[in-house]
Amino acid sequence: MSEQIKTTAEYIRTATGDYRPEVGIILGTGLGDFADRIEAAHVLDYKSIPGFPVSTVEGHKGRLIFGEIEGRRVVAMQGRFHYYEGYGMQQVTFPVRVMALLGIRCLFVSNASGGINTSFRTGDLMVITDHINLMPNPLIGPNMAEFGPRFPDMHNCYDKELIARATAIAEREGIKLQYGVYVGGTGPTFETQAEYRYFKAIGGDAAGMSTVPEVIVARHMSIPVFGMSVITNCGLSDEIGDHEDVQLQGRKAGARMETIFRALIREL
């Protein structure tokens, strides 16, 4: 696996004329529009990258975009790999390791999620302050010691300094933020009412099907992470989860999320 990661990173380095991104960005469901506004220097379709899995889910383009945001070099994943698509955890997290080898020193993650905290409303933006992992851990298996320790610490997974800066930016821009714990399940089913109540009881504020594996792997490598969820539905109300709604709410809140991401990147 570690050889494949190196080979893929080497391929990308050559294909992009040794473009060195400082920041990695993973854009979730309905949030891909942001990537279209990157001043792109190189765009690579996942299917053209040796070793890369290929995205299958509707609403996800599958490409890696290299370019500048606010004058800083970034690499953005427009579309991610989900465990529920049938990929193994090694595949789900493969791009994060590759981005690390390309030199990112900070990872921004985003997703669509279901609100569990009853004070949340559809369309809210939640800063992820911590997570609960209910998926298989992506670090199960022989430890790749060149990337990090066998038993990585998961305190402060979500960088406190970046959260504080996001708070200041949101105040300045008049953007309302929620804060909370993201519960990552496998999907692809949305939760039952009993499961939403269970997620609430164990301390969750939002439920989703992604992000946690990538964050664990980034933290294994000690890369600082900033994460945001768009609350696309409220799990404990009577409404029923629906993929189209998730995409629509994602796009609407995406503009506010983009403002926060841009300002954070500018100030890094």
Minimum distance from CB of 105 to ligand HPA (Å)? Answer: 29
- Cβ at position 79, least distance to ligand HPA in Å: 15
Distance CA(241)–CA(140), nearest Å, equals: 31
- Least distance (Å) between residue 209 CB and ligand HPA: 5
The residue whose Cβ lies closest to ligand HPA is: 114
Q: Which is nearer to ligand HPA, 99 or 228 (CB)?
A: 228
* Nearest to 229, CA basis, from 113, 129, 130, 79: 113
Q: Do the Cβ atoms of 127 and 157 come closer than 8 Å?
A: no
At residue 215, what is the residue type? V
206 half-sphere exposure, CB direction, 13 A CA radius: 35
Closest CB to ligand HPA among 74 and 209? 209
Calculated CA dihedral for residues 162, 164, 167, 171, nearest 10 degrees:
-120
Nearer to ligand HPA among residue 97 and residue 131 (C-beta): 131
* Residue 111 Cβ vs ligand HPA, minimum distance, rounded to whole Å: 7
Task: Kindly tell me which of 48 and 193 has the beta carbon lying closer to ligand HPA.
Answer: 193
* Positions in the binding site for ligand HPA (CB under 6 A): 112-114, 190-191, 207-209, 232-233, 235, 241, 246
d(CA 262, CA 125): 15
CB of 183 to ligand HPA, least distance (A): 8
Q: Closer to ligand HPA at the Cβ: 152 or 187?
A: 187
Any residues with CB less than 8 A from the CB of 208 and at least 6 apart, and which?
A: 111, 112, 113, 114, 182, 183, 184, 185, 229
